[in-house]
């Protein structure tokens, strides 16, 4: 059965460069152990950032699945034109939540491993589309399929130089109130298998995350904070307050 509605992917930019493990794993035992630590730290940070984003979008759209460094959401159209506006508002909240969480996690840079040091370069990009899709249920799993699903994923492979942006198809933008689109620019992208498509883009240029409280603390405190954060999840509240 075909459904019409909205599809959205929230993707963390910089993940591929953030977790460089292949060269380390080629080395002897020590390299493998270091790679395992790098991977664990990377996954912990990515998970915290994704959870912050999901918390803001999920009240408006359903989370279908996690895709490594991305979260895929959908919702059926209910004939209410304000639904797209609600999604845009959720995207704004997600942007803010991502930045706040990144600032809370500044202390992990005291670790010194590559993922922790590079965490300051992580950014959020979101693509959204409106179209038809099928919902397939196999046991307890729910799969969203169709041409629209393929398109929204391929939109992530674009010519934009920015690693922090919103990208909307015209089909989605048509349902958005004009006041939300004033800062968007019109572009044409050659999308694999779909040809040249008109799109709406809004680029951001956020500075590196800062945490004034963390900056005032000693390097020793931050070192112990990150050590506890990665080894004892129950102590997270002590260092990031949530």
pLDDT greater than 90 at residue 176:
yes
* Cα separation, 147 vs 167, whole angstroms: 18
What's the pLDDT at 227? 75
Residues near 26 by beta carbon (within 8 Å), at least 6 away in sequence: none
2-240 topology per CATH: Alpha-Beta Plaits (3.30.70)
Residue 111 φ then ψ, to 5°: -60, -45
Structure-block tokens of residue 235: 């102590």
Average pLDDT over residues 197-211: 90
- pTM reported for the whole predicted model: 0.86
Delimit the domains of the chain by residue range: 2-240
For the stretch 87-111, pLDDT in tens is 999 999 999 999 999 988 888 888 8
* Cα separation, 227 vs 215, whole angstroms: 17
């Amino acid at each position: 059965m075909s459904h019409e509605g909205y599809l959205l992917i929230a993707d963390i930019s910089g993940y591929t460069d953030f977790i460089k493990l292949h060269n380390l794993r080629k080395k002897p035992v020590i390299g493998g152990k270091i790679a395992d630590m790098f991977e664990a730290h990377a996954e912990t940070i990515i998970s915290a950032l994704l959870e912050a984003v999901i918390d803001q979008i999920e009240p408006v759209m359903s989370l279908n699945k996690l895709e490594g460094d991305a979260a895929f959401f959908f919702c059926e159209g209910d004939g209410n034109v304000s639904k797209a506006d609600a999604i845009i508002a959720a995207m704004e909240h997600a942007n803010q939540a991502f930045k706040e969480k990144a600032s809370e996690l500044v202390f992990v840079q005291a670790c010194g491993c590559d993922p922790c040091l590079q965490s300051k370069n992580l950014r959020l990009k979101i693509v959204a589309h409106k179209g038809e899709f099928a919902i397939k249920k196999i046991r307890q799993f729910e799969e969203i399929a169709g041409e629209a699903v393929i398109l929204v994923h391929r939109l992530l492979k674009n010519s934009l130089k920015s690693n922090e942006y919103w990208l909307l198809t015209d089909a989605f933008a048509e349902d958005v109130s004009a006041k939300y689109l004033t800062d968007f620019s019109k572009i044409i992208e050659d999308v694999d298998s779909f040809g040249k498509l008109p799109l709406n883009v809004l680029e951001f240029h956020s500075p590196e995350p800062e945490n004034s409280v963390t900056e005032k603390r000693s390097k020793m405190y931050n070192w112990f904070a990150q050590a506890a954060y990665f080894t004892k999840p129950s102590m997270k509240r002590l260092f990031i307050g949530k």
